[in-house]
Amino acid sequence: MTGSRNPHRQLFFSPQTPFLSTRWVLLIMAVSALLDAVLLHVTRLSIAATPAAIGFCVWAVFAALACFQLRSGATARQRIARDLIEGISAFAAVSLLGAIASYPLAAGHHPLVDPELERVDLTLHFHWLSLYEWIAGHAWAQTPERIAYLSIFVTPAVLIGYFAWTGRRAETRMFVATFWVAVVMTLSLFPLLPAAGPFSSLWRGSVPYMPLSALYQDQVIMALRQHAIHAIDLGELHGLVCAPSFHAASAVIYMATAFRIRGLRWPLMVLNLSMLLATPVEGTHYLADLLAGGIVAGTALWITPMLIRLAERWDMSGRAWIRDMAPVAAE
C-alpha cells in the first residue's frame, strides 16, 4: 500500500488511493503544454498577450514557487496551503490547456454532424426545441439554470479544498488526473464530432431567450475554419466542444468523487444533477452530447486508477534499479 512507504502518506493519505508522484504530474503538464504548442503552430494560431495571459503566467510562477517552498509540509497549515495551491493550480492548468487545444482542433474540415446528433435525440424521444421553448417561456427558471450551469467551477474548488483540509493529497491528484484523462478523451473525439449545437442548427427567427453559450460555438468554429482568428484571447475563451459534452463529463466525475465524502455527497450530487439538467439549453447541447460525455467520464473514472498504479510501479522499479546499481557504482 502507498502508506507503507512514506510516514506522511500513512498519516494523511487514504491507503486505498494510489499516489501519483510529482514527477508524473509535471510530465503530464509539460506534455500537455507541448501538444498545445504543436497544435497552435500547425494551425498558425497564437496566444494573444492580453492581461489574462499575463495573469495566468504570474499565477503559474507564484504557484510553482509556493509549492516548492512548502514542499516539506512541516506543519498542518503548510500542508493545507501547499495542497490547496497545488490542486487548484493543476486543475486550472488542465482546464486552460484543454480549452486552448480545442481552438486548433476546431479548425479542421470534418463536416458538422448536427443532423446525426439530432437523429439520435429524436430516436431517444428528446426534443431540444421543446425544452428551449419551455425555458424561454418561464423566466423564473432561467436564473437558477444559469447558476447551475456555471457551478462547473464551484464543485472542484469545494472538493480540492476539502481534500487539502483533510490531508488527502493522493485523492486531489487522482481527481485532477481523472479530469485530465476526460479532457484528453473529449478532445480526441471532438475533431470527429464537430457540431454547431442545437441552438444554431434548429432555432429560427427572433431569440426570446439567449442561453449562456449563445451562438459562440458555431461562430468561433466557422471563424477558425475560415482563418479569421489568428490569436486566442485567454480572457475570452469560449466552449467549442459540442460532442462529447464536457459539462456532462465533469458532472459525472464530480458526483463520483463527491459520493465518497459523506458530508458533501448529497449537496454536490444535487448541484451537479442540476448542472446536467441545465446543460442542454445553457450549453446548447444535444442529449446525445450528454450521453457521450457520461461515457467519457465513466471511462476516465475506470482507467485513471489503473494508470496511476502503473506509474507507481514504474517509480518503484526505477528506485529499485537505482538501489541495485549503487553498490556496482561504488565498486
User: What are the structural domain ranges in the chain?
Assistant: 14-330
Given a contact cutoff of 8 angstroms between Cβ atoms, the answer to whether 195 and 322 are in contact is no
Look at residue 3 in the predicted model and tell me its pLDDT.
39
pLDDT of residue 280 exceeding 50, the answer is yes
Backbone angles phi, psi at 296, to 5 degrees: -60, -45
The b/e string for 6-17 (b: 16+ C-beta within 10 A; e otherwise) is eeebeebbbeeb
Please give the grid coordinates belonging to residue 285: 447541447
pLDDT tens per residue, range 118-154: 999 999 999 999 999 999 999 999 999 999 999 999 9
pLDDT above 90: percentage of residues in the chain: 77
Asked if residue 317 has pLDDT above 90, the reply is no
Return the residue matching grid coordinates 427572433. Answer: 206
Q: Is the pLDDT of residue 198 over 90?
A: yes
DSSP 190-244: GGGS----HHHHH--SS-SS--TTTTHHHHHHHHHHTT---EE-GGG------SS
Residue 1 is predicted with a pLDDT of: 37
Interatomic CA distance for residues 135 and 268, integer angstroms: 24
For the cut 50, the answer to whether the pLDDT of residue 2 exceeds it is: no
Q: Is the pLDDT of residue 95 over 80?
A: yes
pLDDT in the model for residue 4: 38
Which letter, b or e, does each residue of 190-220 get, where b requires 16 or more Cβ atoms within 10 Å of its Cβ? beebbbbbbbbbbbeeeeeeebebbbbbbeb
Instruction: Identify the weakest region by mean pLDDT among 101-115, 191-205, 261-275, 309-323.
Output: 309-323
pLDDT of residue 258: 95
pTM over the 0.85 mark: yes
Q: Where are the alpha helices (DSSP H) in 43-152?
A: 51-69, 76-106, 114-123, 128-137, 139-150
Q: How many CB atoms lie under 10 A from the CB of residue 234? A: 19
Question: Above 60 in pLDDT, residue 298?
Answer: yes
Which residue has better confidence, 29 or 329? 29
- Whether the predicted pLDDT of 279 surpasses 90: yes
- Identify the band that residue 155 occupies on the pLDDT scale cut at 50, 70 and 90: very high
What SS3 class is residue 46? strand
Average pLDDT of the residues of the chain: 89
**Residue range 246-262: average pLDDT?**
95
CA dihedral 200, 194, 56, 38 (to 10 degrees): -150
Q: Is the pLDDT of residue 8 over 50?
A: no
Residue with cell 486566442: 232
The mean per-residue pLDDT over the stretch 29-46 comes to 96
d(Cα 20, Cα 2) in Å, to the nearest integer?
10
Question: 47 in helix, strand or coil?
Answer: strand
Count the neighbouring beta carbons within 10 Å of the beta carbon of residue 18.
23
Give the residue-averaged pLDDT of 274-300: 96
Helix (H, G, I), strand (E, B), or coil: what is residue 13?
coil
Helix, strand, coil shares, percent, the chain, to 5: 75, 0, 25
